[in-house]
Amino acid sequence: MIEEITSFNFNTTPRIIYGPNVAKDADPFSKLMGNRILLVTDKGLTKLGLYEDIIENLEKYNAKVTVFDEVEADPSLITLEKAINFGREIACTGVIGFGGGSSMDVAKLTALVLGSGENLESAWGVGNAIGPRLPLCLIPTTAGTGSEVTPVSIITVDGDEKRGVSSPIILPDFAVLDPVLTLGLPAATTAATGIDAMVHAIEAYASKNKNNNPMSGIFAKEALVLLGSSIKMAVSDPKNLKARGKMLLGSMLAGMAFANSPVAAVHALAYPLGGSFHITHGLSNALVLPGVLRFNAVDVWAAKKYAELYPFLFPSEEMGNNNQTNASLFIEKLSDLSKELGLPQKLRDVSIPEDACASMAKDAMKQTRLLVNNPREVTEQDAYDIYHSIW
């Protein structure tokens, strides 16, 4: 039940195309992209040849597609600048981001800078990008980040600091969701990205941001229904197209939710794991999630929100008789699910030393744009205690 409706803004990708093999059909976006297209991806997808059909079909429309495949996990500013320069050299008329969140994030800012000549230093932060950008199409090959429907791009600067641009200007013109592209993803990647999508839904639903809104809430709940009912099958049977499709749609809906009701301390505390120890974003979120939720659940409002999500993610589980009980059950069932999916449970399991808890806590405090959305204030000591509790 929606308790109160206040003023809010809701932005998302204007056109979403979903279905098996839809990525092979370039007709919907070919005219928009122009005839000199930059495809931003990573070398792993180049080796798999996943985008060859896309290029072949675009070439039928007399487009020349140039591939930039140097994107790495937690992409650096250096990589972004290389992609931008690459686009300038070919006089790029449109950008396609193909891959996981890293490739899509680089594609977003490449399209922004190539379209406007904007100085990135002035674009960092919330609502600072001016634009315009070049035409942009995003095609995810994992089900987790939801980047294809979010106005956010995260880049690693100065070695290990995560910095973001958040602006509706970098939402793409098209999001193409083809579950066939996600078939065969390794079990560990499927599990980590799936939990990452759940984090997006959970944090969006419980966000203290003033733009927390009914639409985000509805999408967050439906995302958890889709993800919760498919993640085990997607991990155990990587060729199951039905499960992959539900995961992809769930990830997208969670992306829509947190794009408008922003994430909070789980992400803030996850970023130092990626920046300092190169733990993938999805796994970082999965590791940090239980500790942050237990910390937040002390707050009455947060406990209520987590309790409300419990039956959507775990519909067959027995409910308690109050919010605090159901919030606790929700958190513990999430931990059990992560363990069942075979993900590491402790920071020590991914070779993070105990004495890193202090430096990570200090780094997490830099994520003020995220921490302000958390249901409960997080101090540096709190962050340290959370890290230590999951070490």
SS3 assignment, position 139 = strand
Torsion, Cα 278 280 281 287, to 10 degrees, reads -100
Q: How far apart are CA 335 and CA 10, in angstroms?
A: 31
Q: What is the pLDDT of residue 160?
A: 73
Q: What is the pLDDT of residue 3?
A: 61
Q: What is the pLDDT of residue 1?
A: 45
Closest C-alpha among 334, 305, 199 to residue 258 = 199
Domains, the chain, ranges and CATH? 15-181 (3.40.50.1970), 184-389 (1.20.1090.10)
Q: What is the pLDDT of residue 20?
A: 95
Q: What is the 3-state secondary structure (H, E, C) of 256-304?
A: HHHHHCCCCHHHHHHHHHHHHHCCCHHHHHHHHHHHHHHHHCCCHHHHH
Q: What is the pLDDT of residue 4?
A: 66
Contacts of residue 213, Cβ cutoff 8 Å, sequence gap at least 6:
5, 6, 8, 10, 260, 261
Burial label, 89 (beta-carbon count in 10 A; 0-12, 13-18, 19+)? exposed
Q: What is the pLDDT of residue 37?
A: 97
In tens digits, the chain (391 residues) has pLDDT values of 456 677 899 999 999 999 999 998 877 777 899 999 999 999 999 999 999 999 999 998 889 999 999 999 889 999 999 999 999 999 999 999 999 999 999 999 999 999 999 999 999 998 999 999 999 999 999 999 999 999 999 998 877 788 899 999 999 999 999 999 999 889 999 999 999 999 999 999 999 999 999 999 999 999 999 999 999 999 999 999 999 999 999 999 999 999 999 999 999 999 999 888 989 999 999 999 999 999 999 999 999 999 999 999 999 999 999 999 999 999 999 999 999 999 999 999 999 999 999 999 999 999 998 999 999 999 999 999 999 999 9
Torsion, Cα 257 327 281 144, to 10 degrees, reads -40
Residue type, 171: L
Omega prior to 132 cis, within 30 of 0: yes
Q: What is the pLDDT of residue 6?
A: 76
Q: What is the pLDDT of residue 347?
A: 97
SS3 assignment, position 383 = helix
Which residues is 38 bridged to in the sheet? 66, 95
Q: How far apart are CA 244 and CA 250, in angstroms?
A: 10
State pTM to two decimals.
0.94
Contact 182, 247 (CB under 8 A): yes
Q: How far apart are CA 346 and CA 199, in angstroms?
A: 17
Q: How far apart are CA 246 and CA 252, in angstroms?
A: 10
Q: How far apart are CA 389 and CA 383, in angstroms?
A: 10
